[in-house]
Amino acid sequence: MITICKKFHFDAAHRLPNYEGQCANLHGHRWEVEVEIAGEIDSKTGMIVDFGILKSMVKETFLDEFDHSYLNNHSLNPTVENLLRLIVAYLRTTIGIGEMVPFLRLVRVRLYESPDAYAEWRVDE
């Protein structure tokens, strides 16, 4: 299986309402997201999909909405885990079963809250 992966980032604020500690206060992060997809290599282009198309899919599904936003408006408890689940749900409407490129499969999404802390989703096979 061949996969491709593209990294994205967005800046957003949140607070954790069910947490006792500093993260209960309003604060922001420069979030990073890695989106990995699998598919067959097109014999004509030599690609699974153009990275520009992948970028458009990610921007349209959640990135433009999340960038410079208050993430508590998207999730009642916007932990990195809950935000990851939401992002995966959004991406699954476009990648694999969506209209844009239905022959692709979403295989992994990694959401970094900071450079050394992340949550990861991988497809169950």
For residue 40 the two structure tokens come to 């067959």
What lies within 8 Å, CB to CB, of 124 at 6+ separation is: none
CA 88 to chain centre: 6
- Dist. CA 101–CA 46, nearest whole Å: 16
Number of domains in the chain: 1
Range of the domain at 91: 3-122
Residue 7: CATH number of its domain? 3.30.479.10
pLDDT at 104: 87
Q: What's the confidence (pLDDT) of residue 93?
A: 86
Give pLDDT, residue 95. Answer: 78
Q: How far apart are the first and last CA of the chain?
A: 13
What does the pLDDT look like over 15-33, one tens digit per residue? 999 999 999 999 999 999 9
Q: pLDDT of 37-89, one tens digit each?
A: 999 898 999 999 999 999 999 999 999 999 999 999 999 999 999 999 999 99
Q: Is the pLDDT of residue 96 over 80?
A: no
In angstroms, the CA 57 to CA 100 distance is 8
pLDDT of 102 over the 60 cut: no
Choice between 124 and 19, residue whose per-residue pLDDT is larger: 19
